[in-house]
Structure 1
Amino acid sequence: MDKRSRVDWRGYIPAMLTPFADDGALDPARLGSHLEWLAAEGMHGLVIGGTTGEWTSLSPAERRDLFRLVGDQMKGRLPLIAGCTSYTPGESIDLARHAKACGFDGILLTPPPYIRPSDSEIVDFYRMVSDANVLPICVYNWPPGTGIDMTPDLLGRLAALDGVVAIKQSTGRLDQFVKTFFALRDTVRVFGFSMDEHGLTLLHAHDGDGTMGAGGILGRDQPDFYNHLWRGDLDAARACGAKDRLILDQWYTPDLVGRFGSGPAALKAGFRLLGQPLGGVRLPLRDVDADGLAAIAETLRQAGKLSRPLERVA
C-alpha cells in the first residue's frame, strides 16, 4: 500500500474554530454544538486546534482538553486531525500521543514557528516526529505563521519520510502549489486547492485530494463543492466555489492575512452574525470592529447566508 492510501482524507476539511465562553474560557457546550453543526453540514473531516483554532492562545492543558472533548464526541464519525505545531519535536510528539489516545486519525504540523530553521533543520524536526510513529502526519506549509514558504523540493524531502502521508500547501503562490501537486500527488495527499476555476480544473483533470479550509463558515456549500465535483456536476461545484471565493477575496489578502484583523476574529464574527456564537478571540488578537463586522455581513449576504438588512445586523 502506498503512503497516501493509509488515510482516507479527502474533500473539504475545515480548520475549525475553538469556542470560548464569554469569560474567555474554553466552552465545552459551544464546542459540542458547533461540532454537531459541522457534522450535520456534511464536512468531510475536521482539523482541531490549528491556526484557525487559535492554538497559540491555548495552554498545553487546554490543547489536551480540546482534543479530549472533540474525541469523546466525534471519534469514528469523521476523520479528526489534531493541530500539533510546537517549538520542539518532543512537544509535538507528546501532543500527538494524546491525540491518538483521544481517537484522532492524524496530526497537522508546521515547522517550528519564530526560530526560522534551515531546510535541513526542518527535515530533522519532521523526521523525529515521524520516527516516533504515533499518527500519520500532514505537513503544513503556512508562510504567514512561520515566515517560511517551503519549496516543492523541501516538501519532497518531507514527503519521503515514512510518517508523512499528506501536505497542506498553503503557499500564496499558485505556481508553487501546482509544482508541489504534480511532483508529490502519487506519494502523499495534497491539500490546498482553491475552490475556483484554477482549482476546479486541476481537481477535475487530475483527481486532487481536497481543501483544508478555514472554519466552514458557509456550511454545506463548502463540502458540496467536492460532492458535486465527484458526481461530475461541474456547474454546481462552480456555484459553491464562487461563494467560497467571496470569503477568500473579501476577508483575506492574497497572502492569506486577514483584512479585518485575524482570520479567527473574522470567522467568529461571521458565525455570530449567523446566530452561532463561538465567543471572541483571545488577546493579543482583537475582535473585529464595527466597520469590519459590516463588511463581513455584506459578504455573507452576497453568499446567500444572511438576508437581514445590514443596519440591523451591525
Structure 2
Amino acid sequence: MDRNTVDWKGYIPAITTPFLENGEVDWEGWEELLHWLVDEGMHGLLVNGTTGEWFSQSVEEQKELFRTASKHVNNRIPVIVGCTAYTADQVVDLAKTASEVNVSGILVAPPPYVVPNEEEVFAYYEEISDRVDLPICIYNWPRGTNVDLSVDLLTRLAKLDKVVAVKNSTPDFGHFIKAFYAVKDEIRYFGFPMNDIGYEYVKNLGGDGTMGAGAILGRVHPDFYNYLWEGNKEEALKNGRKDAFLFSQFFNSDFSAKYGSPQSITKEALNLRGLPGGYPRKPILPLTEQEKEFVKVTLDEVEGI
C-alpha cells in the first residue's frame, strides 16, 4: 500500500461523539450528525479521533460507533476510524471490527502516556502494519502522547506496508514542512492550514488536506478545498479565513483550548447551530455559562468574516 491506495484528500473532520446528559451515547444524534456531515460535503469523516473522545469509551462503544458510521455513511465518502490504544493487541482488535464493517482505514497515534522512544514507536507501528489489513494513517499528536515523531522516524514509518497517510499535528511548523518533503511521494499528508500557505502546498506542491476538528461551520470547511481545486483562490481563502478565525478564538497553537476543553467547545458550537453536539463525557466537563457565551459571540462574529 502507498498514497495511491486511498483517495483521501481535502477536509476530513475529526468529528464529535454526542453524549446524553447521563453520559450515554446519543445514538439518534450520532446518526443525525453523520447524515448532516455528508450532506454538507465533507470529503471524508474521522470517527473517534481526539475530538471524538475515544478515551472515555468502552471497547464495545468504539466498535458500535464504527458500525453505525459505516452503515449510515454507506460508502458515500471515506470513513477513517480512530484505533489508538495502549498496546498493538488492542489496536488490532479494534481494527478487526473496522475491517469487518468496511471502513476506509484506521488512524493510530503512538500509545498515550507511555512516551515510547523512536525504536519502540517504530516497532509498535510495524507490528500493527503486519497484523491489520486496512490502510493506516499515522497520527502525530504530541499534545496527547508527549511524543513528536521526528522526520527520520516518519520517513521510516512511511515505508511500512499498510501506512498510507499521516495526520501531522505537531505545533512546530518547521518540522511539519520538513516531514512533508520527506514523505509526500510515499504517503498522503494532512494538517495544512487553510490560508495562503496551505493553498500553495496543496494546490501546487503535493499536499493532501486537513483533518480538522468538528466541521462546526459545515460546508465552509470543505469549500476551501473545493474552490482550491477549481483554482478560485479568492473564494478558497474567504472560506479559509472563517476556519482560521474559529481556531484563533477557540484554540492555542498547540491545539489546547483557550477555555474549557476542545471537545466541550466544539460540542457547544454545534449545539448552538442546532446540531447534535451533545454533552461531553467525564472527565471532560461542559462549559460554564460564561464560556458558552464566548462560543456564541465567536459564532456571531465569524458570520461577518
Q: Which residue pairs with 1:83 in the alignment?
A: 82
Whole-angstrom distance in 1 between the partners of 2:45 and 2:272: 22
Report the CA distance shift for 1:91/1:199 in structure 2 as closer, same or farther (over 3 A).
same
Could you tell me which amino acid in structure 1 is paired with residue 176 of structure 2?
Answer: F
Distance 2:46 2:81 in 1: 6
Unaligned stretches of 5+ in structure 2?
Answer: none
Is contact 2:96-2:132 (8 Å) kept?
Answer: no
Distance 2:264 2:133 in 1: 32
Contact 2:16/2:267 (CA < 8 Å) preserved in 1? yes
Task: Tell me which residue corresponds to 2:94.
Answer: 95
Structure 1 equivalent of residue 169 of structure 2: 170
Query: How high is the TM-score relative to the length of structure 2?
Result: 0.97
The one-letter code sitting in structure 1 at the alignment partner of 2:21 is D
> Structure 1: which 4+ aligned runs deviate by more than 2 Å?
none
Determine if contact 1:190/1:209 at 8 Å carries over to the other structure.
yes
Q: State whether residues 218 and 305 of structure 1, in contact with CA within 8 Å, keep that contact through their aligned partners in structure 2.
A: no
Give yes or no for contact 1:13–1:44 (8 Å, CA) kept in 2: yes
Aligned mates of 1:201, 1:291 — CA distance in 2: 39
Q: Which amino acid aligns with 1:30?
A: G
Cα deviation digits, residues 204-225 of structure 1 (max 9, x gap): 2213101000010010000000
Secondary structure of the structure 1 residue equivalent to 2:213 = coil
Question: Which residue matches 1:115?
Answer: 114
Aligned to 1:12: 11
TM-score normalised according to structure 1 size: 0.95
The residue type paired with residue 156 of structure 1 is T
2:20 aligned residue: 21
Deviation (angstroms), 1:247: 1.4
Q: Any stretches of 5+ residues in structure 1 without a counterpart? A: 307-314
**Contact kept? 2:86, 2:112, Cα under 8 Å:** yes
Q: Is the 8 A contact 2:12 2:44 kept in 1?
A: yes
SS in 2 for 1:138: strand
> Deviation at 1:240?
0.4
Q: Which has the higher contact order (CA 8 A, sep 6+)?
A: 2
Is the contact between residue 16 and residue 47 of structure 1 (CA under 8 Å) also seen in structure 2? yes
* Match of residue 157 from structure 1: 156
Equivalenced residues, count: 305
Report deviation, 1:294.
1.6
What SS class does the counterpart of residue 160 from structure 2 fall into? coil
| Paired residues of 2:20 and 2:278 also in contact (CA < 8 A) | yes
Identical columns (%): 43
Query: 1:76: how far off?
Result: 1.2
Q: Is the 8 A contact 1:159 1:184 kept in 2?
A: yes
Contact 1:3 1:187 in 2 (8 A): yes
